[in-house]
Amino acid sequence: MTTTVLTTLIVFHCPAKSCKLFAMCDFEIKRPILTEKNFQKTYDVESETQEFDWTFLKTKVKGYLRSKVDDPGGTAKRFLLSLFPIITWLRKYPIKEWLVSDIISGLTIGVMQIPQGMSYSLLAGQHPIYGLYNAFFPAILYSILGTSRHVSMGAFAITSLMMGAAVTPIYPDPIIPSNASDAEQQAAWDAVYDVRIQYSVATLLIVGVFLLGLSLLNLGSIVMYLSDPMISGFTCGAAVHVFLSQLKGLFGVKIGSYSGPLNVVWVIRDVIIALTTLDEAGRTKTAATVVISVICVVFLLIVKQINERYQKKYLYGIPIPGEIVVVIVGTGISYGVNLHDLYGVSIVGNIPSGLPVPVAPPVSELSSVVGTAIPIAIVGYSVAVSIAKIFGNNFGYKIKPNQELVAYGVSNTVGSFFLCVPAFPSMSRSCVQVDSGGKTQLVGLISAAVILLVLLVIGPLFEKMPRACLAAIIAVAIKGMLRKARDFRPLWRINKLDGAIWMVACIATIFLDVVFGLVTGVAFSFLCVVFRTQFIKSESVTRVSNTEIYRRTNDAASHNDVIVIAFHGPLHYVNKDRLRHRLIKETKLDPALEKAKNKKRAKARKESDENASDQVPNVEVIANKHTDDNLNGNLQSMKEDVEAPPIGGRSTVRAVILDCSQMSFMDSVGVKFLKKAFEDYNELGIEMMLSHVEADVMYTLERGGFIEKFGYDVIFLTNHDAVLKNSKPSHDETHL
């Protein structure tokens, strides 16, 4: 076999002068047959794989530390700028171009934060005022530490739901007698809220510390393990929980608090029972509450439709603030008509003014909230980074996932000292921020100023606001989340496994609760990855006529005695049997069975020979030609019965070439399998070869002892090199 390239000649021929992009051009390449090793030596090509050992690690660490020590000032400056992105964007802030847009957007988001913060706080099972705290402290911290210019920090529906699902069953709603006074009712609710918020801030502290820990380990890319179909299905399932949790507010009835599998069934059951067993006062309260809910929902839906259609035509693109209109008008009507006293409509109740005094989260609760906090942190961060990346790609700037971990971690950790609920960006608010012209993180600072005004002055004015208004705001806000159901059909059409992931995540979230649904969705996503790598497609490919291209095609010049098998994926312990079955199918030989048969035949032949040698001398025959011929014939027939056919006699295959062009990696079990397959088929008279071996796979073969046993001469640069090595090519095969 030729091992040195003397010349390489490429000749182009264009029969048509007006050919476009060489579509009509022919070319001819002349070169010797090349193995992978000869190619690397001839053209001085080095392997891209770097052996990882302690020396390599030591060199890398020393180089990293040296780069920091040699320039301490620059290192400190870069660290400061990366930790506080506000320094970078504020220094380059174009005041004339962006300031007006950011102020308008900040005022818009601040107004929107008021009803959403209060609503999502109720969703989390907390007092509405805590949602306003959430719109103040985390929003300021994210504006200083965050890298996204367009996300709106504050309360988030899904994490608020997860918080409420965890805290409400432990500290259920108070049981208030029907004849209790307003003061007694308020005292009962305040007592429950005071206990629940301790659980919430302990959860928030764990969320923040967990995210900061991930940032220290530089694990900002953890979001990649949550696939888009899984997130979409989980979001849709969580939206169902959000909607069902608001039924008691929309109808003005009391239902139990549930968590765990099938909790949606019990919620629906309680709503039906409550609506069918109302007394006179209950019917009056429910009728009034339903009227308020229907009016609010219809109004918000109409406003959303108008905004979606005509918002671009509005002044500065500012949408109609439907939520704040509902809050203001609902509160005004409640004051004027006295809905609570006349009809028993539930209202928000006492709202303290001013900022909260910082209080350390209860250490005694930390161990009991870990199971709640970790899923909230993962879901909140995953959705937040996904939103941030969408806006970053749309507006041409990069998101730093690890710095986002710092921003969310600090926001939630500090928020746990100021009676906040889990704080993450909301998709609806972020879209409004973009549509209203927001340019930078300054929008968050301006919206926080609006919330500060509410906390110091306006907050107590919302005490008479009906809870049905907040329930209607949440019910309409999750419309976009419920629209995720539209993702299923295109996902199923494109890829059945992606559609299955969406469906499993959605159904599991609905019927197994939010946390269990998340775990199930992630587990099934990983299982689908296993399926994709286990059931790898493999096929026999042949040479397309007059080319060096090997594909599965009808127009092919096949080599019946030389088979090329393309394995479309990595080779490892899970899918090695797929390749073994393909080899058996193409060669029509199972080495294990052939060896067993040969061993059995050899044993039978040995026993036959021993029996023949023991019996023949004791036979008395008449020495004539006729008897002699009969004896020889019987012995020959017996010998033919026990002798094995020639090895590989049932197969016409002389060589098998394994195309590794799509084999991105190989584990130790894969190397062991290849060594065994090469050894077995070589014994059966079939030569085994590899082609298109990637650098990482080559490194694994070297470390696994494959090269030591079979050498480099069984590894070829291309399929055609290997085929020409094992065939008698015609003129068109050697001159392409």
Q: pLDDT digits over 127-184, tens only? A: 889 999 999 999 999 999 999 999 999 988 889 988 988 888 888 888 777 677 778 8
Owner of token pair 């400061």: 80
Q: What are 299-341's pLDDT values in tens digits?
A: 989 988 888 787 667 666 677 778 888 888 999 999 888 888 8
Residues sharing a CB contact under 8 Å with residue 566, sequence separation 6 or more, in sequence order: 538, 539, 540, 541, 550, 659, 661, 662
User: What pLDDT score does 13 carry?
Assistant: 56
Does 427 lie in the same domain as 542?
A: no
Q: Which of 473, 482, 478, 439 lies closest to 114 in space, CA to CA?
A: 473
State pTM to two decimals: 0.76
Rounded to 5 degrees, φ, ψ at 259 are -150, 165
Average of per-residue pLDDT across 618-631? 45
Does 568 lie in the same domain as 468?
A: no
User: What pLDDT score does 1 carry?
Assistant: 40
User: What pLDDT score does 39 carry?
Assistant: 81
In a domain, 71, yes or no: no
DSSP letter (8 states) at residue 717: S
Does 441 lie in the same domain as 296?
A: yes
In a domain, 588, yes or no: yes
Q: What are 196-210's pLDDT values in tens digits?
A: 999 999 999 999 999
| Residue where one domain finishes, among candidates 510, 529, 548 | 529
In a domain, 633, yes or no: no
603 pLDDT band (50/70/90 cuts)? confident
Does 277 lie in the same domain as 210?
A: yes
Q: Which of 126, 115, 212 lies closest to 162 in space, CA to CA?
A: 126
Q: Is the pLDDT of residue 591 over 60?
A: yes
Residues sharing a CB contact under 8 Å with residue 286, sequence separation 6 or more, in sequence order: 251, 252, 253, 275, 278
Q: Is the pLDDT of residue 732 over 70?
A: no
| Residue where one domain finishes, among candidates 506, 529, 552 | 529
Instruction: Say if CB 377 and CB 103 are below 8 A apart.
Output: no
In a domain, 411, yes or no: yes
Does 160 lie in the same domain as 272?
A: yes
Distance CA 12, CA 632 (A): 70
Distance CA 12, CA 231 (A): 52
- Specify which of 189-193, 413-417, 543-547, 606-610 reaches the highest per-range mean pLDDT: 413-417
Does 344 lie in the same domain as 274?
A: yes
User: What pLDDT score does 136 carry?
Assistant: 94
In a domain, 441, yes or no: yes
**Least confident span in 392-401, 404-413, 568-577, 646-655:** 646-655
| Residue where one domain finishes, among candidates 500, 529, 558 | 529
Average of per-residue pLDDT across 611-621? 54
In a domain, 61, yes or no: no
User: What pLDDT score does 205 carry?
Assistant: 95
Percent of the chain past pLDDT 90, that is, above it, reads 29
Does 563 lie in the same domain as 711?
A: yes
Q: Which of 299, 301, 316 lies closest to 432 in space, CA to CA?
A: 316
Q: Which two tokens stand for residue 289?
A: 């509450």
Average of per-residue pLDDT across 566-586? 91
460 pLDDT band (50/70/90 cuts)? confident
Instruction: Say if CB 161 and CB 239 are below 8 A apart.
Output: no
User: What pLDDT score does 144 carry?
Assistant: 94
Instruction: Say if CB 112 and CB 429 are below 8 A apart.
Output: yes
Residues sharing a CB contact under 8 Å with residue 462, sequence separation 6 or more, in sequence order: 118, 128, 327, 331, 348, 351
Does 522 lie in the same domain as 420?
A: yes
User: What pLDDT score does 650 carry?
Assistant: 56
627 pLDDT band (50/70/90 cuts)? very low
Q: What are 395-436's pLDDT values in tens digits?
A: 888 889 899 999 999 999 999 999 999 999 988 788 888 877
Does 508 lie in the same domain as 564?
A: no
Q: How many CA atoms lie within 13 A of 582 on its CB side?
A: 22
Q: Where residue 597 sits, what CATH number does that domain have?
A: 3.30.750.24
14 pLDDT band (50/70/90 cuts)? low
DSSP letter (8 states) at residue 556: E
| 3-class SS of residue 689 | strand
- Specify which of 78-92, 281-295, 308-322 reaches the highest per-range mean pLDDT: 281-295
C-alpha 101 chain-centroid distance: 35
Mean pLDDT across the chain: 82
Instruction: Say if CB 721 and CB 691 are below 8 A apart.
Output: yes
Distance CA 565, CA 580 (A): 11
User: What pLDDT score does 70 carry?
Assistant: 67
User: What pLDDT score does 146 carry?
Assistant: 93
Distance CA 91, CA 59 (A): 38
Does 358 lie in the same domain as 270?
A: yes
598 pLDDT band (50/70/90 cuts)? confident
Tell me the residue range of the domain where 728 lies. 538-608+648-734
Q: What are 200-246's pLDDT values in tens digits?
A: 999 999 999 999 999 998 888 777 777 889 988 988 998 898 888 88
**Least confident span in 129-138, 260-269, 558-567:** 558-567
In a domain, 195, yes or no: yes
Q: Is the pLDDT of residue 637 over 60?
A: no
In a domain, 81, yes or no: no
Does 434 lie in the same domain as 363?
A: yes
Does 570 lie in the same domain as 517?
A: no
Q: In a 10 Å sphere around its CB, with 0-12 CB exposed, 13-18 middle and 19+ buried, how is residue 329 labelled?
A: middle
Distance CA 61, CA 417 (A): 38
Average of per-residue pLDDT across 442-458? 92
Q: Between residues 360 and 548, which one has the greater pLDDT?
A: 360
Give the count of domains, the chain.
3
